[in-house]
Structure 1
Amino acid sequence: MTDSLAHLGKTLIVAPHPDDEVLGCGGTIARLADAGQEVHVAVVTRGYEPAFPEALIEQVRAELAEAHKVLGVAKCHFLDLPAAALDTLPAAKLNAAIGGLVREIAPETLFLPFIGDIHVDHQLVFTAGLVSARPRGPEAPRRVYAYETLSETNWAAPGVTETFAPNVYFDISDTIERKLRAFACFESQVKPFPDERSLKTIEALATVRGSTVYLPAAEAFMLLREIG
């Protein structure tokens, strides 16, 4: 494995829904935790009845806690905005929720979902995340990345919508097994192969991203901004 990623410093991963952070950044989270870096996760939404049974929400929260233990997440923050309904909120409310947390945590590195994801929640969180990261003072994140999420990022329309074109690859050869164990904690979400939310597909994507840069396994990102 290459360096420890310690240069990323305190890190915040913004996840529209529980498990997005594991799918997109699970191996990287584990590497950062192993390097002694403080990793925060912000889960922007939660389900509300009648669309989402309360028992399911409680189950997913419990699964999330177990997954974060596997990866070494320092703290998870719940914003509790309505899942699959962020487009019903004023933009100012979403911006304020994410922006307030970014100011509170003051991360050096920020990870956001990709704007081209098919899920509108992901698109809106991306935009609000960029608003929160505006470099208007020394406390702004020094670097901002977009991550890919299986079953969201690659189901858009190539050539019509934004295309995920990674330009940064983090070696997760030593943490891919922890990423898989973390996602396996989401018993309510894991699907049998060939569904994209299967453990085999998650591992396959890590293999492909790794082979792109001659590594056994990697996670791929788009660097949106870096302040040196």
Structure 2
Amino acid sequence: MVLHPHVAFEALAYSSGYYLYRRQRRSGDVVDARARWWIVGAAILGGFIGSHLLAAFEEPSRSLTHWPQLRLVFGGKTIVGGLIGALLTVEWAKRLLGITVATGDLFAVPLILGIGIGRIGCFLSGLDDQSYGIPTGLPWGIDLGDGVRRHPTQLYEMLLLAGLGGMLVSRLGLNATAGDRFKCFMVAYMGCRLLVDVIKPAVRFGGLSAIQWTCLAVLVYYAPHVPRLIAEVRRG
């Protein structure tokens, strides 16, 4: 039995992101261990639910049917939905626990690492993954096996993630305002997906796909923080 590259790299993404998260946490945390594990558990649950729900809206025909032997675990998911679902359940858990401090900073760079590794699996999966771009005549267009040169959208996203990770580490260090590293990640990633998904085949409503509308909603939600985030990045 040959292990599907999407499955292999998704597993590597989870393990690498978790390893980096654990290393970062050794340098300190804004909440105690018990509260942090409640937050992590809420993030996992919300991410699982949100990733599948948004995938169902994005393309109902693929929802829970893509790779049927692995559905509900590896197939029919979207990262954007996972991030939104995790954010909502974490905020709900924090409210129940009476936690008022921002707790997302420890997740920002591990998420970037995990998403970047996962995109390698998406790219290597070719047409099976359906995260490829529309046809292009540009010299870096890639034929995924059907004779059509397409935008390598997975590679575009990996390059943007690499730049974002470097910026967060170099410009928003430990002295940044609590919560700003995660906010910066969310704003940058949702902005990235809003743009990159323009060159992906998708069912669109009002000119945007379900994922793009979700990204736009998140950007509107974080809009009041954007001027301060830009100023903090510049200040470095």
Query: Which of these two proteins has the greater Rg computed from alpha carbons?
Result: 2
Whether these two folds match at TM > 0.5 is no
TM normalised by structure 2 equals 0.28
Which structure would you say has the larger RCO, counting Cα contacts within 8 Å and 6 or more residues apart?
A: 1
Quick check: which one's strand share is greater?
Answer: 1
TM normalised by structure 1 equals 0.29
